[in-house]
């Protein structure tokens, strides 16, 4: 090795170390942001009121066959609106799939749901586990 090559290698090594330091720092920042997001998402919603209802869907069966399942969804919303005394209702996809499981012409005769109201007054409706 010549004397000129040694300083070049030392400079390259220093540059490589600086690059790795720069690469590590953004990763740390990204990990911290991800952890903060996870903490926010894991924070449980404050449930003010939670009830389990068996909702009769017989009113959905007095309309024409092709309108029964959409009517059943409306019946569920009106039942929850009346009993939980709120206007903002979110039906979970589980409830939707349960109602639509037999198609548009034959919704179930009744459905058991769990309605949970948070402190903003939003009610989330889920199917009761085991049904």
Q: How far apart are CA 98 and CA 73, in angstroms?
A: 11
pTM over 0.85: no
Work out the pLDDT band at 129, boundaries 50, 70, 90.
Answer: confident
List, as one string, the DSSP characters of 13-67.
Answer: HHHHHHHHHHHHHHHHHHHHHHHHHHHHHHSPP-EEEEEEEEEE-GGGGGS-GGG
Q: What angle do CA 63, 58, 118 make, to 5 degrees?
A: 110
Query: What are 127's two structure tokens?
Result: 């199917």
> pLDDT tens digits, residue range 16-37?
666 655 555 555 556 666 666 6
Q: What are the angstrom distances between the C-alpha of 10 and each of 13, 15, 31, 106?
A: 5, 9, 32, 78
Q: Which residues pair with 51 in a beta bridge?
A: 115
CB-count burial class (<10 Å; 0-12, 13-18, 19+) for 85: exposed
50-89, pLDDT tens digit by residue? 999 999 999 999 999 999 999 999 999 999 999 999 999 9
Q: Which residue has the higher pLDDT, 98 or 44?
A: 98
């Amino acid at each position: 090795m010549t004397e000129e090559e040694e300083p070049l290698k030392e400079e390259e090594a220093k540059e490589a170390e600086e690059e790795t330091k720069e690469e590590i720092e953004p990763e740390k920042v990204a990990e911290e942001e991800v952890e903060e997001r996870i903490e926010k998402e894991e924070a449980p919603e404050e449930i003010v009121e939670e009830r389990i209802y068996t909702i009769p869907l017989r009113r959905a069966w007095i309309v024409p066959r092709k309108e029964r399942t959409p009517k059943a969804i409306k019946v569920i919303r009106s039942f929850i609106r009346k009993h939980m005394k709120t206007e903002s209702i979110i039906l979970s996809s589980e409830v939707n799939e349960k109602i639509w499981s037999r198609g548009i012409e034959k919704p179930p005769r009744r459905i058991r749901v769990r309605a949970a109201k948070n402190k903003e007054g939003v009610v989330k409706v889920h199917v009761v586990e085991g049904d």
